[in-house]
Amino acid sequence: MCGFVGFFDEREKKEEILQNMMDRIVHRGPDMGGMYHDAKAALGFRRLSILDLSEAGCQPLYSEDGTKVLVFNGEIYNYLELREELKQKGYHFKSNTDSEVLIHGYVEYGEEIVHKLRGMFAFCIWDKEEQKAFGARDIFGIKPYYLYEYTEAQKPCLMIASEIKSFLEHPGFEKEVNEKALKPYLTFQYSSQPEETFFKGVKRLRPGHFFTYKDGVLSVGQYWEADFRDENRSLEENVKRIQEVVEDSVKAHRHSDVPLGSFLSGGIDSSYITACLMPDKTFSVGFEQESFDETTMAEDLSNILGIENIKRTITGDDCMGKLEEIQYHMDEPQSNPSTLPLYFLAKLVKDNGVTVVLSGEGADEIFGGYEWYDMDQGQRLLKKFPAFLVRGAARMAKHLPNFKGKTTLLRAGLPVEETFIGEALIFEEKEAEQILTDAYRGGTPVKEITDKVYALVKGKDDVTKKQFLDLKLFMEGDILQKADKMSMAHSLELRVPFLDKEVMKVAEGIGSDQKIAHGTTKFVLREASKGKIPKEWYQRTKKGFPVPIRIWFTEEKHYHYAREYFASDFAGKFFKREEILRILDEHYKGNANHARKIYTVLVFLVWYKRYFIEESA
């Protein structure tokens, strides 16, 4: 796991700018660094050594004739097979890294190399002869990739990076808040517009996409898309396929020349990965409050498997004390509370001498694990009534103030496209507009964001539609962002075996009736894990990563911490301060539970202060 920066312009003295940009992301690669620059291009790299720890694996890496230059963040898990294939074609290798497979593979296959890669990656290749850059991002977006177009001497130019913060060191970067980002963030809890970010002009390269840049023209294309379809295989056949492909994926993901461990909660996903991996150590964190602590389950499973479990209890003081640093590393506001324990979990792993860790992200999105994919008891009851009655009642209820059972009625009577936006719904859109100042009330509508995704799965069943939406929005914009940024904050490589090209091929062909069945979600995966983990673990309902923010904001010290931000002058630029202070005070006094709303507003203000008030660049 590493990080890269780069820019394509004709300015002189590129080296100092490049070094400053690289220094911003030294946490991604503390072991060594390198750079390349010529009249039109500059590429910088920070390395966290995982495969071939020698200097032979340092980047930038060059083709055999020296005409092509590579910077690459990630791991190619089928690199040994590709290496042999390329050797047969006459290529010579100077290292045992997967990076060389990329550069030689590009020489041999050109842009088609992306179709041969199994792994997590973000890379850029500069072709000196053609004066062209080519870059690509893995199919899930496990590794981040940002682009920023600017002008220099009236000519179009481009910056690229693993993290937005490195752009701050380039004189061509104009730092502005993207006014279209705040309103949808208040609803989704993350930067939810796939191409946009909170920094105006900074774009994400989407998962499964590539770009070329030549003569000032940026062209972006797509090379992969998820395709959920029922291939009508039996449950037994799908269980067997999952067992085989997950074992194979874990085997591929365990390849490392440094110590390796696994995250372990009490849930099925990390438990299954751990049982397949059988590492020397597992790692868990929990909170002081008993109902928010799953470390006992993690320790129990580790004991059953004969693995050492290392755990830590964290507090509200720990989390609030690191909130500013966490948001700095995130690059953009992100108010999923599970980001807090993930930061400390990654630190725990690194502090115990482990550099690579496996985790269970992605299983819910590809195997149907979230509880909202299934109908609740109220929806099942309403489905017994004539459809036209439920539909009519839902249409009327949509325009009424909130009441008990409204959400259930809406979900039972309206199309999924009108009721489901993903994991979180923090502020209703109208609520968000009520607390925002005029300048930030006109952000991208929520439905405009979700409709673009739903348009890609027209005619599919509701479970598939929800999976696809979560895959394209929630997983990409929230789950994988925090997984990468929180692990890299501690120079830790995080690998996610469920988010593997071959695992996805199996998951895509499984029908929804095997994902949601027998009163549980992720049914087919639970069946597949039976031979690896005990019943108590594979039957457990999903809890997520519970964080006691509701309790923290009723405590005086954390209330005052939030209040200082809410009452600040800069808060008034974005929010009606009397409204956000009212929300905070109602929660503090115990009159309502506004914890998620408070935390979502607070996170944005913490991020803004760090990047736009305290930041000198």
- Non-local (6+) Cβ contacts of 482 within 8 A are 330, 334, 336, 338, 339, 342
540 to 266, 267, 273, 292, 521: CA distances (angstroms): 8, 6, 15, 15, 10
Instruction: Please identify which of the residues 2, 124, 157, 276 carries the catalytic annotation.
Output: 2
Q: What are phi and psi of 412, to 5 degrees?
A: -80, -30
Rounded-to-integer distance, Cα 408 and Cα 389, Å:
14
> Dmax of the chain from CA atoms?
73
Active site residue 2: yes
Q: What are the Cα distances from residue 478, in Å, to 189, 540, 549, 567? A: 8, 24, 18, 28
Rounded CA-CA distance 409/407 in Å is 5
Q: CA dihedral defined by 43, 166, 340, 262, rounded to 10 degrees? A: 10
Contact assessment for residue 39 and residue 17, using Cβ atoms and an 8 Å cutoff: no
Q: First CA to last CA across the chain, in angstroms? A: 27
By DSSP bridging, strand 217-222 and strand 260-263 are: unpaired
Task: For residue 157, give every residue at least 6 positions away whose Cβ sits within 8 Å of its Cβ, in sequence order, or none.
Answer: 7, 8, 9, 149, 150, 151, 172, 216
Give the bridge partners for 69, in sequence order. 62, 126
Tell me the residue ranges of DSSP E strands in 430-519. Answer: 493-495
Vertex 553, ends 550 and 556: CA angle to 5°?
A: 145
Distance CA 119, CA 252 (A): 9
Chain position carrying tokens 């209703």: 428
Q: Which residues are catalytic, by number?
A: 2
